[in-house]
Amino acid sequence: MLPTPKRFTLCAGAAEGSHKLNAFDNALLEAGIGNLNLLKVSSILPPGAQYVEKLQMPPGSLIPTAYGSIVSDQAGELISAAVGVGLGKDTFGVIMEYSGKCSRVQAEDMIEEMVREAFRTRKLQLLRVMVKGVEHTVSQAGCAFAGVALW
């Protein structure tokens, strides 16, 4: 079992590449986590986890990450990804991820509502919502990525 994360950060990036996988890789680099190994996790932030502005880990580190991403090779298409973290008092947090064919603002608005719903469903008091998103207009092969890295 992995240790329970004590810190988290929100990151987002968008980029082009010659192929979809290169676009995804370039978006990870733009988000600041391209040299790490992401372990995709579901959406619960451990109690007491502290927000850190920037993730600094050695290359190749295994990093649990809740994320949304979208890749496209349709020139001119607008794609976006966003993540949000809901924080409550003396409890765990909830992370939501979204990606789609919309603007950054639309993706961020959707994320905020998803976080609010998650807290209502759990009957938890929501104190703060943190949201980060990105949008990209595809040229050749593009990717929008947003994640919450936990460590």
Is residue 61 exposed (0-12), middle (13-18) or buried (19+ Cβ within 10 Å)? middle
Distance CA(20)–CA(106), nearest Å, equals 23
pTM for the full predicted model: 0.96
Asked whether 77 and 143 are in contact (CB, 8 A), the reply is: no
Where in the chain are the domains?
7-150
Q: Which residues are catalytic?
A: 37, 42-43, 97
pLDDT at residue number 19: 98
pLDDT at residue number 2: 78
What fold, for 7-150?
Answer: Pyruvoyl-Dependent Histidine Decarboxylase; Chain B (3.50.20)
Asked whether 32 and 51 are in contact (CB, 8 A), the reply is: no
How confident is the prediction along the chain (151 residues), in pLDDT tens digits per residue? 778 999 999 999 999 999 999 999 999 999 999 999 999 999 999 999 999 999 999 999 999 999 999 999 999 999 999 999 999 988 999 999 999 999 999 999 999 999 999 999 999 999 999 999 999 999 999 999 999 999 9
pLDDT at residue number 1: 76
Q: Which residue from 150, 148, 104 is spatially nearest to 11, judged by alpha carbons?
A: 148
